[in-house]
Amino acid sequence: MVLKSCASATGYLTALSAPVLLAVGAWLDKPALAGGTVLLLFPLARLAFGAFHGSADREWHPRVGRLLDHLPHIYVVVLAAALATVLWNLHTHSLTTATGLQWILSLWVVLMLATCVAHELLHRKNRTERFLGHALTGVAGYPVLGYEHVRHHHLRGNTSAAEWPKLSDSVWAFGGRRLRRIASETVGPKGMAWLGNSSSPTVRGLRNGLTASLLTWAAFGVAGGWTGAAVYALTALIVACGVQLVTYMQHWGLGDDHLPDAKSRELAWEDDCRFEAWLTMSMSVHQTHHVDAGRPYYCLEPTPGSPRMPAGYVLLMVAALIPPVWRRTMTPALEYWLAHPELSPSAGRRVLCVAAYRR
């Protein structure tokens, strides 16, 4: 039983791959290595690892479960070492426009995935782990994640508050509306007054995240000068946009503007790709997470009958940026789920399953 659980659990070590690739890229002076590998090669991993195969995948030996509980802590150490390697590279190499853009690409990919680990820590009951989660959101360049995510769970299905996108929304409209609201509530004039006077756990977490962001920004500035600081600032801006992009993908068409009972349900698009769940600490199994937010990442699997994405996150991120392509891809999937809510088509080992929704 222990050996079987260990063999299954090794897949979650995939979560460490992005920061390791970032460190290797810094060591070899190949700044695009991490970003290029994750965006171009990782989507093909479904061909090898396929989809979930039932609850047996989630039966863990207690010792293995405890080790998986510590994986986010190991991740934080690995990411810190990787960022230190990047800072050393920036300090010892001249930063051109081309290399700067490559670093932004790789840092964006790695720090977007870091928000998945931070998300897991933010849902832990242990105060120290939640503190670590807030700090990690700051290092990732999105220190408001903890504040935003609490609100997101409390206002499920709510499109007027920009927690769920409207059916008519493009990602650009939804992301802009949501970012403006979050900025106003956290770092705007009213938000800053609230931030300075309140001692609630949410505010303490936000302060911790903001402090971590400023310290990381300063570290990039010391290592790479103004250009190094600009690399981190631009990366943080794109991470903020990327978080809204992922929220859009996970909840489009499932809000109260389109489904009358959306506020009483925990609806989200899910992807049953095994590799993607490993890589994101099960963020891709999103409806299951909403149903039981405190359940450990390694105990999650897709909810039977949940709406299923017709492709993985990377391909759908590209589609979402082009609204006509997004609607052509996702509208049949939404209509299929509404007509057959008990069915959950799977791509199996295929990269796409768009055809399944056009029958």
Q: What is the share, in percent, of the chain residues with pLDDT greater than 70?
A: 90
Backbone angles phi, psi at 52, to 5 degrees: -60, 150
Task: Give me the mean pLDDT over the 217-245 stretch.
Answer: 97
Task: Give me the mean pLDDT over the 136-165 stretch.
Answer: 92
Measured CA to CA, the distance from residue 284 to residue 297 in angstroms comes to 10
CB proximity list for 340: less than 8 A, separation 6 or greater: none
DSSP-H helix ranges across the chain: 2-9, 17-27, 33-36, 46-49, 62-92, 97-122, 127-139, 145-154, 171-186, 189-197, 201-251, 274-280, 286-291, 313-320, 323-339
**DSSP β-bridge partners for residue 311:** 352
Q: Count other Cβ atoms within 10 Å, centred on residue 160.
A: 11
Residues 303-342: pLDDT tens digits? 888 999 988 899 999 999 999 999 999 999 999 999 988 8
Task: Give me the mean pLDDT over the 68-84 stretch.
Answer: 97
Return the CA Rg of the chain: 20
Q: What is the structure's pLDDT at 55?
A: 47
Task: Give me the mean pLDDT over the 212-225 stretch.
Answer: 97
Task: Give me the mean pLDDT over the 210-220 stretch.
Answer: 97
Measured CA to CA, the distance from residue 328 to residue 8 in angstroms comes to 36
How does 57-94 read in b/e, with b if 16+ C-beta sit within 10 Å?
eeebbeebeebbbebbeebbebbeebbebbbebbeeee
Whether the predicted model's global pTM rises above the 0.75 cut: yes
